[in-house]
Structure 1
């Protein structure tokens, strides 16, 4: 009887809602009697051209035919980037695991859609591909998000909380022997939007926001949004941000620095509330994602959590590529037909081993 392999070499692909580029991570995973171990062997951050970035940003407004065409085009582009990456480092991965780029995420009506055709990735790269990790969970009545907590549970279990500061801030933790995770609030999605109004891509190290002042009225309006009163499982998408949060920002007449400063306080307060309500005193909070490089956001968060939680920022590789790493790991679990979507996190009827497999032709 064949034995299940215990070592895997996988390329993980991640494109987040903050639109800062494609993360590629070539990872090794090993399973032994003590559990899983991992290493990030090679990595690359591929910036989007202004044209591709704009097209991704506008993809939510494309008509169905244009969207399907772009789905295929973007998949071919992803495959080409992987081929360049593998040839540069002379890699021979077992397969690619791709998150894709989220266009629609409305699980309350049974919809989640990530573009980046798996067949096109496979054909352009010459590699087997596992992708579309969210659809099955939504079909099972779940939120289809967050998905990273399976990696937090099996790869980063030494931390009490795992916080990702990407376009959206999401958190993962153990409570009553169950993994709990949910989207807390917009993060870089909000900050980068405000920066875009003055033709900046992002606020480098939070220097602009640091020089701003708190707008109490704006902070109150943001904190009173209904989403923050809902219990988990819950998740956020760009549609919610566009409909609920953007009008508040657009209707606030204030300096950019003040809008950023206040938004930082809003994000930090929502994260602090999420951690505090678990009543885990003296806990550790691992922070990854692009927002971990925003010094003012991290300092503000430390100030709001220091009495009950220690904030930890890991190595640059983990900060930058943790999501790509975990989607690579989700591919491994799918390959082994083991659960990679947790019903305790998403609210689905059951745990599932999700992901669709494509072979090059």
Structure 2
């Protein structure tokens, strides 16, 4: 009988919605296909203080950044331990993505906060983390990583799209898994709504009431990032440098800003799909917080008709797919199998990434 791994996956994304915790059973069905069940899952919202610290981590001195890394690792372990106790779980290990504070693969540097040793100590569990660094050392982008899950868990779909702070896509092309960050998703939307003291635009109702701002739309379309070939990845640095100034300089209303960004985002996503279709009729699985934005999805559906069916799965999978996939990556690390694909990241070769930590006595 195939081994069933009992894994706690931890994920914190660029949109800073909170810490996603997913308790999963994961097992191998065939050489190329794995199965899973998400048995318990929860998102723990960040306090205003944690949100501010994580958002501004990029600006910290080296010593302050190291202190935050350790403090956040302790906090992650405390949340994991409380979750395990509350749900009376039997856990083999924790697989943690951490929270990205720096991502500059062109400088061979990426950093995910959440110190693995501190996490292991405070949770009293074995921990696998730091899934990006090895790929960056091998000349890769260190991102996106979720496509290994698309390959092994969701290969029934032609395209897999994640709408987190940024949008990334994964698909098979010429027999290989390809994936990259398309560009923007929730990051600008949340930045705009927070100007009105709303965390986010629920269902996209504000965006739906707005109109297209042609000037801003044109500026967004001309951004250099879109001209880069894949593999490519981006993050908060790009958003902070290139996008925030456009928002701040715009005289458009909140509603028009939101509407314009959704029109822009969905156009770029639709283009990524139509340029890479190998079939006349396709299926697109959409996960991440943006899948719950009705106006975003409605606009995307319109732009993909009639060749691509947009599939929105269960709310549990929408919210916890990434935590699940990092659980899978931890399993693959334990089995010494490939968990980062060079066809996705542009590294010199596939790798088995991650660092294992045990609680100190």
TM-score range, shorter chain: over 0.9
Aligned residue for 1:321? 320
Aligned residue for 1:254? 252
Which structure 1 segments of 5+ residues have no match?
none
Q: Please say which of residues 4-13 and 69-78 is displaced more in the overlay.
A: 4-13
Q: TM-score, normalised by structure 1?
A: 0.98
CA distance in 2, matches of 1:200, 1:89: 32
Aligned residue for 2:229? 231
**Is the contact made by 1:291 and 1:297 (CA closer than 8 Å) also made in structure 2?**
yes
Task: After TM superposition, give the deviation of residue 5 of structure 1 in Å.
Answer: 6.3
How many pairs does the alignment contain? Answer: 358
When residues 340 and 38 of structure 1 are mapped into structure 2, their CA distance, relative to the original with a 3 A threshold, is same
CA distance in 2, matches of 1:28, 1:190: 35
Query: Structure 1 stretches (4+) deviating beyond 2 angstroms?
Result: 32-35
Aligned with residue 81 of structure 1, among 79, 82, 88? 79
**Is the contact made by 1:8 and 1:332 (CA closer than 8 Å) also made in structure 2?**
yes
**Is the contact made by 2:2 and 2:29 (CA closer than 8 Å) also made in structure 1?**
no
**CA offsets per residue over residues 95-150 of structure 1, 9 Å max, x none?**
00000000010101111110000001100000000000000000000000000000
CA distance in 2, matches of 1:222, 1:117: 36
Correspondence 1:24 to 2:31: no
Task: After TM superposition, give the deviation of residue 252 of structure 1 in Å.
Answer: 0.9
User: Partner of 1:18: helix, strand, or coil?
Assistant: coil
Aligned residue for 1:11? 8
CA distance in 1, matches of 2:30, 2:225: 42
Q: Please say which of residues 331-340 and 271-280 is displaced more in the overlay.
A: 271-280
CA distance in 1, matches of 2:323, 2:162: 12
User: Partner of 2:237: helix, strand, or coil?
Assistant: helix
- The 5 A counterparts of 1:1-361 are 6-33=3-30, 35-280=33-278, 281-361=280-360
Task: After TM superposition, give the deviation of residue 200 of structure 1 in Å.
Answer: 1.4
Which structure 2 segments of 5+ residues have no match?
none
CA distance in 1, matches of 2:136, 2:344: 12
CA distance in 1, matches of 2:307, 2:109: 38
**Is the contact made by 1:6 and 1:32 (CA closer than 8 Å) also made in structure 2?**
no
User: Partner of 2:286: helix, strand, or coil?
Assistant: strand
Task: After TM superposition, give the deviation of residue 340 of structure 1 in Å.
Answer: 0.4
**Aligned-residue CA RMSD (Å):** 1.0
Task: After TM superposition, give the deviation of residue 45 of structure 1 in Å.
Answer: 0.7
User: Partner of 2:256: helix, strand, or coil?
Assistant: helix
User: Partner of 2:56: helix, strand, or coil?
Assistant: helix
CA distance in 2, matches of 1:274, 1:90: 44
